[in-house]
């Protein structure tokens, strides 16, 4: 059952450089986990089960903010990170709604985004299957399911 956590913080471990992202360690109740994420602000932290966390992260760039959705396994580290947004676009993380097995929120595209963690990892072809504006690194197994209802709006409001 999903649960909102308020004791998850980040601590800078490596400064970003012109060619690489920064490294920020995830702390739970002030204790280091050894797990690094690439951006610095936690918008929300949600417990998925006794060993997994979902983090909603931004990078303090309010004029061109992208949202990173990271699934962490406390034993195995980062399982998957999705990015929502892109160049010359910005969003605001709002309307967080935590359900027993899903998280809903708004960020960009004038829609409600829904994130679920299926019981089993799943396969998907790169570049297709996710709603517009979502990107994720190609991999054999994926862990985060994301949907948007209604379909995300384009620049001119069309869907």
Partner 1 sequence: MDTALLASLDGEGKKKLERAIATLQGDVNAASGVLYVDPKLRLEYSRRIKAMSDDLYAKASRGIISWEKAAEEANQTRNLLMELIRYRSTPVGKALAQKMKAQGKTLNELIAYKTKALYGDKVNFNNLSVSQKNAVYSAVVQSAGKSNHEVNIKMQRLSGAGRGLIFLSLAVAVYQIYEAEDRVLETQRQLAISSAGIAGAWGGGALAGLMCGPGAPVCVVIGAFVGGAIAAWEISGFWD
Q: Which residues bind partner 1 (CB under 8 A)?
A: 16, 18-22, 38, 59-66, 83, 85-92, 106-110, 132-133, 152-158
**Residue 63, both tokens:** 């004029």
Task: Give the list of residues 6+ apart from residue 60 with CB closer than 8 angstroms, or none.
Answer: 40, 41
- Rounded least distance, CB 49 to partner 1, Å: 28
**φ, ψ of residue 22 in degrees (nearest 5):** -75, 175
Q: Which is nearer to partner 1, 55 or 117 (CB)?
A: 55
* 53 vs 144: CA distance, rounded Å: 12
Q: Which is nearer to partner 1, 72 or 83 (CB)?
A: 83
Q: Which is nearer to partner 1, 13 or 154 (CB)?
A: 154
Residue 124 CA from chain centroid, whole number? 18
- Rounded least distance, CB 108 to partner 1, Å: 5
């Amino acid at each position: 059952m999903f649960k909102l956590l308020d004791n998850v913080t980040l601590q800078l471990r490596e400064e970003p450089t012109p060619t690489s992202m920064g490294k920020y360690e995830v702390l739970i109740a002030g204790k280091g986990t050894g797990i690094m994420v690439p951006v610095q602000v936690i918008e929300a932290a949600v417990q998925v089960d006794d060993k997994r966390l979902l983090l909603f992260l931004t990078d303090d760039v309010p004029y061109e903010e992208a949202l990173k959705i990271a699934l962490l396994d406390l034993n195995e580290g980062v399982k998957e990170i999705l990015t929502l947004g892109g160049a010359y676009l910005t969003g605001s993380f709002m309307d967080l709604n935590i359900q027993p097995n899903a998280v809903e929120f708004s960020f960009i595209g004038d829609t409600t985004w829904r994130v679920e963690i299926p019981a089993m990892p799943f396969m998907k072809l790169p570049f297709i299957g996710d709603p517009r504006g979502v990107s994720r690194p190609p991999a054999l197994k994926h862990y985060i399911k994301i949907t948007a209802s209604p379909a995300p709006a384009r620049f001119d409001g069309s869907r």
